[in-house]
Amino acid sequence: MSLSLHLPVLVILLPLMASPLCILIDRARASWLITLIASLLSFYCSVLLLQQVQITGTISYELGGWQPPWGIEYRIDLLSAFMLILVTGLATLVLLFARYSVEQEISKLRIVPFYATLLLAIAGLTGICVSGDVFNVFVFLEISSIASYTLISMGRDRRALNAAFKYLVMGTIGATFILIGIGFLYMHTGTLNMQDLAGRLPALYDNRTIRAGFAFITVGIGLKLALFPLHLWLPNAYTYAPSVVSALLAATATKVAVYMLLRFLLNIFSLDFSLDAMPLDLILIALGSTAIISASLVAIFQVNLKRLLAYSSVAQLGYIALAIGLANHSGLTAAMLHIFNHALMKGALFLSLGAMVYKLGDAELHSSQGLIRHMPLTSVSILVGGLSLIGIPGTAGFISKWYMIQATLELGLWPLALIILAGSVLAVIYIWKIVESIFFQSPPSTVAVHEAPVSMIVPMAILAAANIYFGLNTHLTVDLADSASTLLVMGGGQ
């Protein structure tokens, strides 16, 4: 048996099968270790897959040995491999961090099912990234969604329950919209396979059923990715979820939803149809711009740092939507870069807040006063993440914003460039608020804490360093994003 042939399914199987294993073994410490190892191995498989894809081109794997479109196909191109690395890599770092944080925030009896559910969330997210079958995407989307609702509800504050419920209702409406859309596409094509759909759809672009299906799928995914104004579930969900869950979801879940959007818009349909024949490009640009300005404004007034970052996430998703709406090669490259870089920033920031919650009990702005005296490493990591979020040169955030502005100028749309800059200015304000409190205010006299344990510092430091590394050395990410967006612009035919 040659394992390398089966990598596409192993990436998913490792976290998927580790989940029931945790339940069978039923030991808290062991389930953390299993979860960490499973995601590490899954990350290793993703790296191997990326290498394979770079050498041999797109990989197709027939599940059950049935040839598509009759069976389900896994189809891994550069974009899928890129997303796999992002999801499994961040999951591994978050899990490295998780041990103490989870022991503190989750009651002892629930630790084993917590990790089992976390594994299912990761498996669901990775499953979406590799699937070449639209209905299979729906199934894995629901695995990850149900797992996320549950994980969010485990926050210590009772508001976590209400937030989880709201997310559940919005998410399920989104899923049902996607289901209806798939039904409409199936009505006229008779297939669920993405490649097959891409081949059959161009002849049907004037068909009203196909157009309605397109609209329903887009709105459904918009709900899942918290596209403004469908973002209302997100701030509370990220604020009250356990620290580890906020970090994982903020870094990966919405990114995977963006990936789904790209697949549907550009591979199953095509650039010309989605962003030209349909007025979606304008809608994305308008909603994206509104999200950047309004969510950043709201973020300025937040006193809970997790909530502040959650609103900032809504704004960052606005940047990505705007970049996709530009509908050209550089716009897509910028969008993909920002997917990656934003995952790095929010990973670093939410993990740092997790360390703060671990030591101080909450993530309120006033608790962060003078944090630099007790937790210097955590403070520096927040600073780096914040600078990257603003887009200061030398950080990863600068690269994606730079490409985004270039893309707008290529089209002569300088007002959009101004909006992007305005977003950065607003980010300066809300990040400054945090920095001022951490670095320049004296700590409350009652507080006497020390730096977080090493297992928390290491993943945080890796992510903070990555924010600087990918800000200085852009070859790896820019080349990947560039080739992936070339594939997307060409459409699904290859």
Partner 1 sequence: MSHFPGLFNYWIVIFLMMAGFYVVISQGNLVKKIIGLSLFQASAFILYISEANVDGGHVPILEEGITLYSNPLPHVLILTAIVVSVSTTAVGLALIVRIKETYGTVEEDELQEIDNAQDEADTPDQKQQIAEEKEI
Partner 2 sequence: MDIALLSMLSITAIAAIRLRDLFAVTMLFGIYSFLTAAFFLTLDAIDVAFTEAAVGAGVTTVLMLATLRLTGRYEQTPKHSPLIPILVVCITGAALVYGTLDAPTVGDPEAPSQTHVAPRYIQQSADEIGIPNMVTSVLASYRGYDTLGETFVIFCAGLAVIIILGLQDSGEIHPGRSAIGDQLVLRVVIKMLLPFILLFALYVQLHGDYGAGGGFQAGVIFASGFILYDLVFGEGDARLIIPPNWLRRMAALGVLLYAGVGVTTLIMGKNFLDYSALAESPTAGQHLGIFLVEIGVGITVFSVILTIFFAFSGRARIAVKTGRGGS
| Contact residues for partner 1, defined by CB under 8 A | 135, 138-139, 142, 146, 149-150, 153, 158-159, 161-162, 164-165, 168-169, 172-173, 175-176, 179-180, 183, 186-187, 192, 236, 303-304, 364-366
Residue 365 contact, options partner 1, partner 2, none, Cβ 5-8 Å cut-off depending on partner type: partner 1
Residues within window 222-241 making contact with partner 2, judged by CB under 8 A = none
Q: Which residues between 65 and 104 bind partner 2 (CB under 8 A)?
A: 65-66, 69-72
Considering Cα of 449, then 450, then 454, then 459, what sign does the dihedral take? Answer: positive
Nearest approach, Cβ of 431 to partner 2 (angstroms)? 35
Min dist. Cβ of residue 213 to partner 1 (A): 12
Name the segment binding partner 2 (CB under 8 A); options: 10-18, 260-268, 287-295, 449-457. 10-18
Place of tokens 């999951």: 91
- Bridge-based pairing of strands 73-76 and 59-62 is antiparallel
146 contributes a contact to partner 2 by CB under 8 A: yes
User: Is position 189 an interface residue for partner 2 (rule: CB under 8 A)?
Assistant: yes
Is 149 a binding residue for partner 2 by CB under 8 A? The answer is yes
DSSP 73: E
Query: How many beta carbons lie within 10 A of that of residue 183, not counting itself?
Result: 13
Could you say which of partner 1, partner 2, none residue 169 binds, taking C-beta under 5 to 8 angstroms by partner kind? partner 1
Task: With beta carbons less than 8 A apart as the criterion, state whether 351 and 249 touch.
Answer: no
- DSSP code, position 451: P
Nearest approach in angstroms of CB 384 to partner 1 is 26
| Closest separation in Å from C-beta 217 to partner 1 | 13
As given in the structure block, the two tokens for residue 425 are 């200015």
| C-beta of 305 vs 326, nearer to partner 1 | 305
**β-sheet bridge partners, residue 57:** none
Say whether 369 sits in a helix, a strand or coil: coil
> Does position 412 bind partner 2 by CB under 8 A?
no
- Contact status, residue 74 vs residue 36, Cβ threshold 8 Å: no
Query: CB under 8 A: which stretch of 93-101, 188-196, 292-300, 387-395 binds partner 2?
Result: 188-196
Residue pair 135/392 in contact (Cβ under 8 Å)? The answer is: no
**179 contacts which partner out of partner 1, partner 2, none, CB within 5 to 8 A by kind?**
partner 1
Interatomic CA distance for residues 33 and 435, integer angstroms: 35
> CB neighbours of 19 closer than 8 A, spacing ≥ 6?
116, 117, 119, 120, 123
* Segment interacting with partner 2, rule: CB under 8 A, options 19-27, 277-285, 325-333, 480-488: 19-27
CA distance 190 to 185: 8
Report how far residue 453's alpha carbon sits from residue 409's, in angstroms, rounded to the nearest whole number.
46
**CB closer to partner 2 out of 207 and 406:** 207
* Minimal distance, residue 289 CB to partner 2, in Å: 23
Q: Which residue has the tokens 């995407």?
A: 137
Task: Name, in order, each residue with C-beta under 8 angstroms of 303's C-beta and a sequence gap of 6 or more.
Answer: 364, 365, 366
Q: List residues binding partner 2 (CB under 8 A).
A: 1, 6, 9, 13, 16-17, 19-21, 23-24, 26, 61-66, 69-72, 109-110, 113-114, 116-117, 120, 123, 127, 135-136, 139-140, 142-143, 146-147, 149-150, 153-154, 180, 184, 186-192, 200, 207-213, 215-216
